[in-house]
Homo-oligomer: A and B are copies of this chain.
Amino acid sequence: MVGSVAYDGVETPHGRVDRMLGGACTYISLAASYFTDVKIVAVVGDDFDSADVNLLAGRNIDLEGLERVPGLTFFWSGVYSADMNDRTTLRTDLNVFADFQPKLPPSYRSASHLFLGNIQPALQRSVLKQMRGLRLAGGDTMNYWICDYRHELVAAIEDWNVLLINDSEARLLSGENNLGKAAKIVQAMGPRTLVVKRGEYGAILFHDGGHFMAPGYLLEDVFDPTGAGDSFAGGFMGYLAAQGVDASGAGADPAVLRRAVIYGSVMGSFCCEKFGVDRFRTLTRAEIDARFQEFKSFTGF
């Protein structure tokens, strides 16, 4: 798992936390750790707290690729709207993340599955090129890279098997408003499997000319949606890795991909129940599987 490890300041209608562990790679790795062994590639400053190291290590996440350099860890802060469907960024201090050049420890290069969190596409590409014998590569991106680094992004995703983005990003990347048509355009760019995340409305998996729709989980209280999309990605990719899904047709059983989308939805839903990564401090695999069954019960007919 490659991406940002950061500190976040977040304000939602339920409260405010000035500084807590965050970053895409953190959420992806924590969520994936419930399904498979995770190795992290990221950079933090010398302010990075040992309690946060311990949280990740406690989930059995390999931190050999977590580079520590002098300076401050990436900091982001934002405030959510009353319905939590919008957020405004208050501050983005890239700090040590500005010079991040992902270097994979030799022990990482033979990993079977790779997930590239939302970072500059050229860096995502450089990581993929360091891998040997990769069976499945997936990644995320955002509107900034789609608009301002389009060529670099298109060159990167050409080699991906799975792309996870949200609906507005899918429309932006494809130039097409209709999601079904947008999916075909994006799939023609490289990723044979596309997952379009729709926030509270769930997700759509596009694969092999067909699609699968998963609704969002109806949470009684959304405390903090930060990291929900990344937790989705971690659950999705972690489950695929655990099932040994590879990019060849043989391994990509549509039923496994569908279950991966549900596990992604499950992890995204848990993430929202507490501030930041707090839900992952107590979450158990039994709770995850119980919620998976809940998804079955409120979607079957």
Contacts and interface: CB of A to CB of B under 8 A. Distances in A.
Contact of A218 (B82, B180, B201): B180
A298 B211 contact: yes
Interface in A234-278: 255, 258-259, 261-262
A212 B300 CA distance: 8
A interface residue count range (under 10 / 10 to 19 / 20 to 34 / 35 or more): 20 to 34
A202 B301 CA distance: 15
B221 A178 contact: yes
Nearest to A206: B218
A210 B181 CA distance: 35
A98 to B, nearest CB: 36
Nearest to A222: B178
A261 B204 CA distance: 20
Summarize A's interface: helix, strand, loop or mixed: mixed
A179 to B, nearest CB: 6
Interface in A193-230: 198, 201-202, 204, 210-215, 218-222
A175 to B, nearest CB: 13
Contact of A299 (B83, B179, B198, B212): B212
A299 B82 contact: no
A177 B221 CA distance: 10
A201 B198 contact: yes
A296 interface: yes
Most B CB within 10 A of own CB, among A198, A297, A299: A299
Contact of A179 (B178, B218, B295): B218
A168 B8 CA distance: 31
B259 A301 contact: yes
A79 to B, nearest CB: 17
Contacts of A255: 301
> Which 7 residue pairs of A and B lie closest in terms of their CB atoms, listed nearest first?
A213-B215, A258-B301, A201-B201, A180-B218, A213-B298, A180-B220, A212-B298
Given A178-B222, A180-B219, 17 more contacts: A82-B177, A83-B177, A178-B219, A180-B220, A201-B201, A201-B202, A204-B218, A210-B298, A211-B218, A213-B298, A213-B299, A214-B301, A215-B215, A255-B301, A258-B300, A296-B301, A300-B300
Interface of A: 82-83, 177-181, 198, 201-202, 204, 210-215, 218-222, 255, 258-259, 261-262, 295-301
